[in-house]
Amino acid sequence: MRMAGKCVLILGGARSGKSRLAQEMAQQLGEKVLFVATGAPLDEEMRLRIEEHRKKRPRSWRILEAGVDVGQKIMTQIGDAEVVIVDCITLLVSNVMLSAGHEDSVEPDQIDYASAESKVMAEIDGLIRCINNAEAAFVVVSNEVGMGLVPDHRSGRVYRDLLGKANQLLAQQADDVYLMVAGVPWQLKRKD
């Protein structure tokens, strides 16, 4: 059931079942899957989370670890993939913001909003170009962080705002958009 060009966006909170749904959808969309992991094992907790996710993936799937320049890296590694899972935009935006902070040698709460926004939007635009040009279906996972408390640190507010903008751009691109709540998918958008 190959559906080249189809794009599905799955949003939700932490531990809402986003990754599980993405994997189930990918198995329905095609046999040859490229799993794009944007997370890096920066500490022991993250290493354990990554390991837990690895155990739940079929061994036949190819893995691409890409923290930034995701769209470009997918295009060089896509090969014969029928489906590409990008898990997740949440960590991708964080990676871009962290790399921007290191380049500019600023403290996290002194990050320049316009510069960070420019870099995050360029990353998302690159991913969208990849989605539009690839001969594969895409399942993209991201957290919905705009429904919680307002972060008390500037860097947290910048992150929340930029992730919200990234999610909006991806939702506009997507054929289908789901919101996961307590393991239950709610379809928000369906392209007929």
What are the DSSP calls for 174-190, one per residue? -SEEEEEETTEEEEEEE
Calculated CA dihedral for residues 159, 125, 169, 99, nearest 10 degrees:
-10
Reported as a pLDDT band with limits 50, 70 and 90, residue 108 is low
CATH code for the structural domain at 7-190: 3.40.50.300
Is residue 1's pLDDT more than 50?
Answer: no
Q: Please identify which of the residues 20, 53, 73, 157 carries the catalytic annotation.
A: 53
pLDDT-derived band at 4 (thresholds 50, 70, 90) equals low
Residues 178, 188: contact at Cβ < 8 Å?
A: yes
pLDDT digits (tens, 9 = 90+) for 42-71: 789 888 888 887 887 888 999 999 999 999
- Per-residue pLDDT at 3 exceeds 70: no
Confidence of residue 109 (pLDDT cuts 50, 70, 90): low
Cβ distance 23 to 145 under 8 Å? no
- Please choose, from the candidates 86, 91, 83, the residue with its C-alpha nearest in 3D space to the C-alpha of residue 60: 83
The better pLDDT of the pair 39, 37 is held by 37
CA dist 30 and 11 (Å) reads: 21
Section 103-130 average pLDDT: 84
Output 178 or 146, whichever has higher pLDDT.
178
Q: What is the pTM of this model?
A: 0.91
Q: What was the pLDDT predicted at 2?
A: 42
Phi, psi of 10 (to 5 degrees): -115, 115
As to burial, measured by CB atoms within 10 angstroms (0-12 exposed, 13-18 middle, 19+ buried), residue 162 is buried
Q: What pLDDT, in 10s, does the model give residues 73-99?
A: 999 999 999 999 999 999 999 999 988
129, HSE (Cβ side, Cα atoms, 13 Å): 12
Residue 125 near residue 170, CB atoms below 8 Å: no
Is 53 part of the annotated catalytic residue set?
A: yes
Average pLDDT over residues 102-114: 66
Among 79-83, 99-103, 105-109, 150-154, the least confident range: 105-109
Percent of the chain with pLDDT over 70: 93
